Amino acid sequence: MVAKVGQTGWLVLGVLLLGACGEERVGGAAAELAFVPQTLLFDDTYLGNERNLTAMLENRGRAPADVRLSIEGPFWLVEQVLRVSGGASLPVQVGFRPSQEGALSGAVSLEGLGEVAPLVLGGVARAVPVCAPASECNAVHFDTEKGECVTTPLPDGTVCSATACGPQGQCFAGTCKAPPAACDDGNPCTTDACMPEEGCVHLDASAECPQPADACHVPACDAAQGCHFVEVADGTACGKADCYTADICISGACKPVPVPEGAACGEPSPCRARGVCHAQVCERAPAAPLVEAWSYAPPFSTLHFEGVADGTGNLYLLEEAFNCWAVSLTPQGLVRFRTFVSTCFARRNVQLLAGNAYVMTLAPDNVTAVSQFDGRILWSKGPQELWGKPRGEQGVSGDIQSVAAGSNGTLWVAVNIEKETWTPSGYVRHHDMLLVALDANTGEEKWSHHEAGRVARRVVLDSANRGYLTTAPDGDFNATPLRIDAFSSGGHLRWSVPTASEGRAVFNGQLELTDGQHLSTLDGAARWPAFSQQLSPEQGDFSPLMFSKGEFRYFSDVDTSGPNLLNTLNVTFRSGPMSLSTSSVRLGSSFENIPVTWVMTTPSLTDRGIAVSSGPAAPNDDWLRGVNTDGKEAFSCQIPRSSSTDSFSLWRMGGGAVLTDELWGAAVDDDVCDRCFRVPGSPALRVFHVPGLRAATRGWNAQQGSMSRDNREQ
């Protein structure tokens, strides 16, 4: 028999020891003594702490027995001398109070009675992890029962040290804040607060202004009036328009006016110019396929393009053919550099620009930076090096979980470290989480935050280079509740709140979660509720596009309920806490029994809406589609093929896409269906002319929050 509490890590040890210590009794009729159970295995215990377990000492004979107990190892006894009556049993309480790490063992024996099997003892001792220093408005301690660091806010009103906003602050919800008046700028269009490392901050609150009820006014906010409505420019469309009449705004009112002969008509798109009204008919050339500007197609290689471009339109990608090369192309398609970076295979999760570096994650588990100017390797680090350990140290492995880039040249890297400790019963595994900020140009550490017993999920940044890290409990990456920790740009823990989903975007002082909930970036308080309606799971896979009018969510859908596959682009637009509208754009249907590759590249935010690549709507068609803020399709432009193929050819697009100054590009792959077995062709990056389309001047349009654009100028 084996008694145990909590963990089962000592089960194997107990079985081995029992095998060597079979049950024995004192011979004769006077007394028969035995421990029940014969083994006590203690739950993992942290140094300086104590656990207690109890076994029974049974006298199976008729006469009483006076016994003295002795003990070995880092254990102790409550009582050492016992009198056990015949046919009775007494409890033997054993304590475990370790003073050193590792798997420890011992035994309780009856002095002078070697024929009685001892009570075998075992336990695993752990060092108490060092918790990250708490801010002055929080107390932190390691909870040895939970096995994690616990932060407790000090009472509101507790005096804290001087801040950048005043000589003395007070604690509120675990954050040191100056008195509200110290940071009040008198502007009703801002949310004012004090951050200890930054001083007073004034977050733009104009996005909270209500929307007007008509199309001839737009919301505005200024210090003198607060939220109000202003008239749009005269001539702005506000309703239907044809070559008879057009509804336009005049002095803030929507009025129908006659359309003169020769007036421009129809909405322009990248593949169709506006028409001309002639005899009250809009004469317009049909839409033409997009015109290819250039393509990059290295032979025998796989391209990993995630839509990375710098401010001048240079593109960055990874090229893989057993080895990896970092490649940069000019807006005209000329090769700026092609640098060998590693014998590896690429991980398609992170590519971004930070400082003067093009940063990429490579497998197995490595983050590498090359110069944006000439492609030379700047630095390369794995999880152990980020942890501060030499590469290949025994018992320590890790995974680079999330990477984000700040606008100040800092790279934030979230790492999960797995540690293995050998015990007689096998390896004991546990995780630590590390958040480290690096100089993107040199790879040097600026600061780090470590926590035992948790795993990192995703880190995103705002435009002021503050970070928001989602973590989960150790042992269950998908466990809830999750927790979001907010850090200043210098690594100071600002606040921490439990959540049901992870953070993925920051905009106008609000952190958007995957379930649609918004939290204030100042203190983590709930601002917008989660979505009240059940949305498709696919929506959770894409980060939203966010701009001053609200946010887009988007996903593609395939309905297999009918004889043909019905392809739709679903869009959700949200402009306020309770304002949610959804729409679906029909993309067409496929021919029956012909396999269809259904993909959608990363959307690009424009000042009018979004542009996405989606398709095919039919086996040989792919389209660049635009969607307006009302969810209606703005344009649909066919993307021409790179070569002439038969009707069973499938042209696949997926992954990253980029929109620069009237150029749009994406990685493609020509696949040929040979009796429905696909034969991969030569992958390529293809770039097309898209007249009139430019990336939005403001907005959050990076898939993983790595470009830190928030609502500032891009």
d(CA 557, CA 563): 16
d(CA 632, CA 227): 28
Look at phi and psi of residue 160 and say left if phi exceeds 0, alpha if psi is from -120 to 50, else beta: beta
CB 621 within 8 A of CB 651: no
Structural domain includes residue 632: yes
Structural domain includes residue 590: yes
DSSP 8-state class, residue 290: P
Structural domain includes residue 109: yes
Which tokens belong to 616? Answer: 């095919």
Domain range for 37: 2-126
What is the predicted pLDDT for the residue at 643? 58
What is the predicted pLDDT for the residue at 701? 54
> Is the pLDDT score of 14 beyond 60?
no
Q: How many CB atoms lie within 10 A of CB 288?
A: 13
User: pLDDT tens-digit profile of 319-334?
Assistant: 888 788 999 999 999 9
What residues contact residue 400 under an 8 Å CB cut-off, 6+ apart? 361, 365, 366, 367, 382, 383, 386, 413, 414, 415
User: pLDDT tens-digit profile of 382-416?
Assistant: 888 888 765 445 556 778 888 998 888 999 999 98
- At 197, is the pLDDT very low, low, confident or very high (cuts 50, 70, 90)? confident
List residues bridging with 688 in a β-sheet: 292, 664
- At 462, is the pLDDT very low, low, confident or very high (cuts 50, 70, 90)? confident
Instruction: State which of 278-287, 487-496, 529-538 shows the largest mean pLDDT.
Output: 278-287
Beta strands in 223-322 (DSSP E): 226-231, 237-241, 245-250, 253-258, 264-265, 275-278, 281-283, 291-296, 302-309, 315-321
Boundary of a domain, candidates 104, 126, 148? 126
Boundary of a domain, candidates 79, 104, 126? 126
- At 436, is the pLDDT very low, low, confident or very high (cuts 50, 70, 90)? very high
User: pLDDT tens-digit profile of 677-710?
Assistant: 333 444 788 899 999 988 877 766 555 444 444 5
CB 162 within 8 A of CB 428: no
Q: Specify burial of residue 225 (Cβ count, 10 A radius: 0-12, 13-18, 19+).
A: exposed
What is the predicted pLDDT for the residue at 592? 40
What is the predicted pLDDT for the residue at 201? 84
Closest to 569 in 3D by CA, of 545, 539, 526: 539
Number of structural domains (the chain) is: 2
> Is the pLDDT score of 551 beyond 50?
yes
CB 440 within 8 A of CB 405: yes
Closest to 604 in 3D by CA, of 667, 558, 554, 675: 554
User: pLDDT tens-digit profile of 144-170?
Assistant: 777 778 888 889 888 887 667 777 778
Structural domain includes residue 676: yes
What is the predicted pLDDT for the residue at 534? 47
Structural domain includes residue 291: no
Residue range 430-445: average pLDDT? 91
d(CA 37, CA 31): 18
User: pLDDT tens-digit profile of 65-105?
Assistant: 888 999 887 898 888 888 888 889 999 999 998 888 888 88
Handedness of CA 340, 332, 699, 441 (dihedral sign): positive
Structural domain includes residue 647: yes
HSE-CB for 469 with a 13 A CA cutoff? 34
Q: In this structure, what is the dihedral angle of CA atoms 344, 346, 350, 356, given to the nearest 10 degrees?
A: 60
Q: How many CB atoms lie within 10 A of CB 60?
A: 15
Which tokens belong to 124? Answer: 């695993």
d(CA 484, CA 24): 56
User: What is the overall mean pLDDT for the chain?
Assistant: 78
Closest to 502 in 3D by CA, of 491, 486, 513, 490: 513
Structural domain includes residue 354: no
Check which CATH number belongs to the domain holding 67 and give it: 2.60.40.10
What is the predicted pLDDT for the residue at 245? 94
For 558, the enclosing helix (H) or strand (E) is: strand 550-559
Boundary of a domain, candidates 81, 110, 126? 126
Structural domain includes residue 279: no
